[in-house]
Amino acid sequence: MSKITLLEAVNMALQYELQRDSNMVLLGEDIGLNGGVFRATANLQSEFGPTRVMDTPLAESMIAGVAIGMAVQGLHPVAEIQFMGFIYAAMEQIVGHAARLRNRTCGRLSCPLVIRAPFGGGIHAPEHHSESTETLFAHIPGLRVVIPSSPKRAYGLLLAAIRNPDPVIFLEPKRIYRAVKHTIANDGHALPLDSCFTLREGRDITLVTWGAQVMETLEAAEVLAHKGVKAEVIDVATLKPLDMKTIYSSVAYTGRCIIIHEAARSFGAGAEIAANLAEHALQDLKAPVVRVCGYDTVMPLLRNEHYYLPSSRDIVTAAEKLVSFN
């Protein structure tokens, strides 16, 4: 076993499943010969051939439509959209067809499809390359939305997504593609979908987050610990369906909650979590639920990204205010 990055963990999971499942295919723009814009599929076409790792035209609607057709005919496609900002052309196929097939056919057909897309800011990319619009898909019945936050979770959750009988939107936070390395056994062990992961236990406040923001949240928890505040950190991991049971349990113990995400603040997943807490855990709360989020603007270009992305300092400041709330 060697230490690998999140990007390498994605590649390893795809390779494992291509070896295990002869019905699995990959398709996307430049994923074959070039190995993808981030090299997530590097060397897979040379190992498995162009009929299983397929380069496509620059046509996201076609990629999604072909992948859906493959899925209903017995294949297990994993389609890559180069950046989440390019996924909107594919939404009619994903929302109008992939998400509805099981319901439309009364269970006669399912759609075992994974759509991968790098998402989020932090790499100084131009417009359309830094989107965090995960809530668009979380709103759609019939879709799962899965977001890994580390190499270990990327490997295990991607395996679970590929083996799932229904469509999964698998969003990879590109800011941490190469940020950390984990030692991972390439043993095919999948992690559970539809479950949060408690990364750090605490008694004073619950910090709920996902994706790249897990890194800043854990940093904030460490700073708070030195200040005498013990924060519990929860990685949502599967945004839809949302494991509120784990969040309720934590908030019942700590009495306080901050939700952190880099997506725009209004109508985001943080608001959904806050609404659930207001409806079902109000008596456990000692203070209002707080959101630390991005702004209701397009992600700023290049060097201005850091003004938009929530920082560990922002989280610490919000937490200190919340624990002192009377």
CATH 3.40.50.920 residue ranges of the chain are 197-323
* pLDDT tens by residue, 61-75: 999 999 999 999 999
- Can you say how many angstroms the Cα of residue 8 is from the centroid of all Cα atoms in its chain? 16
Alpha-carbon span 83 to 85, nearest angstrom: 5
CATH of 3-183 among 1.10.540.10, 3.40.50.970, 3.30.2290.10, 3.30.365.10: 3.40.50.970
- Backbone conformation region of residue 255, classed left if phi is above 0, alpha if psi is from -120 to 50, else beta: left
CATH level 3 topology of 197-323: Rossmann fold (3.40.50)
Confidence label for 324 from pLDDT (cuts 50, 70 and 90): very high
| Catalytic site includes residue 76 | no
Confidence label for 303 from pLDDT (cuts 50, 70 and 90): confident
* pLDDT tens by residue, 176-211: 999 999 999 999 999 999 999 999 999 999 999 999
CATH 3.40.50.970 residue ranges of the chain are 3-183
Residue type, 52: R
Indicate if the pLDDT at residue 128 is higher than 90.
no
Which of 129, 182, 261, 306 does the annotation list as catalytic?
129
pLDDT for res 17: 98
Cα–Cα distance list, 81 to 36, 138, 167, 170, 279 (Å): 10, 17, 15, 10, 36
- Alpha helices in the chain, H assignment, sequence order: 6-20, 44-48, 60-72, 91-93, 101-104, 134-138, 151-163, 213-226, 244-254, 269-280, 305-308, 312-323
Indicate if the pLDDT at residue 9 is higher than 90.
yes
Tokens 């939107």 correspond to 169
